[in-house]
Structure formats: C-alpha cells, structure tokens
Amino acid sequence: MAASPRRTSAAATHEKGKQMEITAANPQHKRRQPASYLNKIKPLAMVLAAVIAMAFAPNAAAANLIDEPRTLVPMGNTVGISLKADGVMVVSVPDTCSDGKSPSPAKAAGMKPGDIITRIGASRVTSGDELKRALAAVDGTSVAVLVSRDGAAVQLNLTPHAQENGNHTLGVMVRDGINGIGTVTYVDPASGEYGALGHSVSDNETGLILPLRTGEITKTSVTSVTKGQPGTPGQLRGIDNTGADIIGSITENSEHGIFGVMAQPEAARDALPAADDSELHTGDAVILSNVSGSEVREYKIEISRVYSGAESDSRSMLVTVKDPELIAQTGGIVQGMSGSPIIQDGKLVGAVTHVLIGNPEKGYGVSISKMLDMADDQKLNLAA
C-alpha cells in the first residue's frame, strides 16, 4: 500500500485520575535535518503510525564504551510520561488572532511553527505560565521577542495585540509540554538508567522533537484496548498518575527514544546481553508488552526484514506479529506499544516503534545498538 507517511501526535493530554488515550508519534520524529538527510527518508512510502512507548539505554560510563556486551533488563511495562519543554514551542501561526479578525502580530513579524519562544522583552520564558506573565507586563508598544530557530537565536520585533479583556496576545498557538503513556524498553541494573519509546516525543502539529526542560515517568496501568484495524491504528488507554507515583526522571528526548534514571527499578526478569547490529537477523523473536493492567507478557513475532544502509536511518527492522492471543486482543501492534523490547536468540535486539496503518500485524523497530549509541552520545554531551 503506497502512501505518504502519516503524522500523528506524540502523546495525548489527559486529566488526573481519568482515562487517558495514548496517541501515536510521528514516524519522522526528528529534528529538522539538511536536505541531503531528508532525501534519504523520503522514500518511506508506507503509511505509518508510531506507537508511543518509552525507551532509554545507557549502561556503562561514557568513557567505557562497548568493549564488552552490555547486559540490560528487558522491561515491557507501561509508564506515564510527562515532558515540559525548554521554552514554549510555536505550533501554529494563524493569519488572525483568536477574535478572527485582528491580524496576528507574530505572523507579521515572521514567527514560524517550530520556533521556541525563550524571551519577551526582559522576561525569560520557559513555560506557558511565564509566557502569560511576560505578556501581562507589556505596555502596548513594540517588544523584542527572542526565539530559537534551528538552534540559532532569532530576534523578532512586534507589538502584541490588545484584546477586549485587556490581555495581550502574540496571535500564535503554543505548547509547553506533552503528557502520555508508553513502554519502557530496558533498565541497566547497575545504574538504574533506562531507555524507552524507541523514538522521540514530538509535537503533533509540527513533527518536531519537543525540546526537553524537565520530565518524569510515573506508574500507570492499562485499562482498555482499542483494536487496530487496517487503515485505523488501535491504541491502549491507561490511568493518568501525573505528579503521583513518580518512578524516574527524563533527561533526554531524542530520535531513538527518551532516556533517564529510574529511582527503584523493579526488574522482574534476568538481564540479557544487548545484541550488536551484526547479530540481528530475520526469523523468530518475541516482544514483551503490557496490554492489560500492569501485567507484562511475552508474545511471538517474526523479524521479517533487517534494513541496512540509507534505509536503516529511520528503521532497523520490519516485524510481524505471530501470536494469536495478541492479535485477538489488540489486532497486532497498537499505539502505546512503542518501546516494547524485542528479544531474539536470548539477546535484547531492539524495540517496537511504529505500526503500519494498512496492516496492524506489521510494524517497524529500532535496534538496541542505535538506542545505546544515542544514550551514550547524550551522556557525552552532558559531560562536555
């Protein structure tokens, strides 16, 4: 089935104590890349829906890289995810303000979706609340608005629009955080460092990775499943425990997963060696997933294809669900299963990341090697 990749949201917002719908992440959840890179991923002509999940994976100290195979505990449990952005992301710049007639000052000044608002006048902006306070301080004259665009600081000068209630607005739609649930891929039993999701948490409007200021994972449980059907991805639903039962931090949000440290990891399984990419092959495998309550179970799959070269930039493997029980319960891979660990030949080889919308029994996965490399890179960046 040939179609262009489908963009969906990284995580659903939800209310505390209420059922929360898990939505999918963008199959192209990556920072803006040069054209040469984008040309590599354009040939993906499958309709995808990412399956939100959580995955992090450093293990040895950054200076102690991969001399010996790492041993990690495969997890498969769902967790609540809460990310706060480093600044306020602009997700839409309409032509007019909310009154539907006044021209948008941000539009006129050249603000773009994906810009991160970091300062208004003398006021630093790191959250939606700080944006409101900064706008409350303007006096109706032109003000300098500092945004981060593609990693560079850009100053825009504009006059916020005065609304009838006396408040001022920039005339944009913004987001300062995302909440959802997803699946933990592994935990390092020595350090408590974990990896989850296998892809980034990104803004559903722009497809850009949400720049992380702070984040946390919490205990949760799956309350219901909407089965996947050809053309309509299924999804898990769970209880939102945002702000309660915090079990770990989120220190990085990257294209191959989110990473952090779990305070008291509950390892229900023995640690397994992490496979090298060269060990990945087609054939039988299993995944660990939590599709009911808090129970993690093993389900049969097949690694149907292993990608290499340019094709492997955005995916490492094609997986097919072979377990009749999982197919009967979920239809195959559903949104919320991203990060489900993949085990083959007694080794942790990767994580589920996407479901093919046209066939929910098939999806993509990322190799554990890519996740670990990303985690090591982030640790080196933090240490620099």
Round to whole Å and give the CA distance between 165 and 171.
15
Which residues contact residue 115 at a Cβ distance below 8 angstroms, ignoring those fewer than 6 apart?
Answer: 89, 90, 147, 148, 149, 154
DSSP-derived pairing of the beta strands 193-196 and 257-261? antiparallel
Round to whole Å and give the CA distance between 9 and 208.
11
pLDDT, residue 383, reads: 63
Please provide the distance, in angstroms rounded to a whole number, between the alpha carbons at the two ends of the chain.
46
Give, in order, the Cα–Cα distances in Å from 212 to each of 27, 248, 251, 344.
19, 15, 8, 33
Task: Output the 3-class SS for 49-69.
Answer: EECCEECCCCCCCCCCCCCCC
pLDDT, residue 157, reads: 97
pLDDT, residue 268, reads: 77
Check if the beta carbon of residue 330 is closer than 8 Å to that of residue 342: no
pLDDT, residue 10, reads: 32
Radius of gyration of the chain (CA): 21
Q: Which of 126, 107, 116, 118 is nearest to 89 (CA)?
A: 116
Give, in order, the Cα–Cα distances in Å from 177 to each of 36, 62, 102.
30, 29, 28
Level-2 CATH architecture, domain 19-84+177-383? Beta Barrel (2.40)
Give, in order, the Cα–Cα distances in Å from 36 to each of 244, 352, 368.
44, 27, 25
**What φ, ψ does residue 312 adopt, rounded to 5°?**
-85, 0
Residues paired with residue 168 on neighbouring β-strands, in sequence order = 162
The angle formed by the CA atoms of residues 334, 340 and 342, to the nearest 5 degrees, is: 120
Amino acid, single-letter form, for residue 182? G
Check if the beta carbon of residue 184 is closer than 8 Å to that of residue 351: no
- Record the tokens describing residue 133, joined without a space: 């306070």
Point out the residues of the chain with pLDDT beneath 50: 1-66
- 264: number of Cβ within 10 Å: 7
pLDDT, residue 245, reads: 86
Length of the chain: 384
- Record the tokens describing residue 357, joined without a space: 């919308």
- Record the tokens describing residue 114, joined without a space: 């994906």
Residue spans of the domains in the chain: they are: 19-84+177-383, 94-171
Catalytic residue numbers read 199, 323, 338
User: Can you tell me whether residue 99 is helix, strand or coil?
Assistant: coil
Which residues contact residue 177 at a Cβ distance below 8 angstroms, ignoring those fewer than 6 apart?
Answer: 82, 83, 84, 85, 127, 128, 210
pLDDT, residue 133, reads: 95
pLDDT, residue 241, reads: 64
pLDDT, residue 365, reads: 98
- The alpha carbon dihedral of 29, 47, 6, 9 has a sign of negative
Q: Kindly write down the DSSP assignment for every residue of 305-333, as one continuous string.
A: EE--GGGGGS-SEEEEE--HHHHHHHSSS
Helix segments in 141-296, DSSP class H: none
- Record the tokens describing residue 199, joined without a space: 């892809």
Residue for token pair 């100053």:
155
Residue for token pair 């294809």:
305
Amino acid, single-letter form, for residue 250? I
Fold of 94-171: Pdz3 Domain (2.30.42)
Round to whole Å and give the CA distance between 72 and 369.
12
The angle formed by the CA atoms of residues 6, 107 and 115, to the nearest 5 degrees, is: 55
pLDDT, residue 266, reads: 74
Residue for token pair 């706008």:
135
Round to whole Å and give the CA distance between 209 and 202.
4
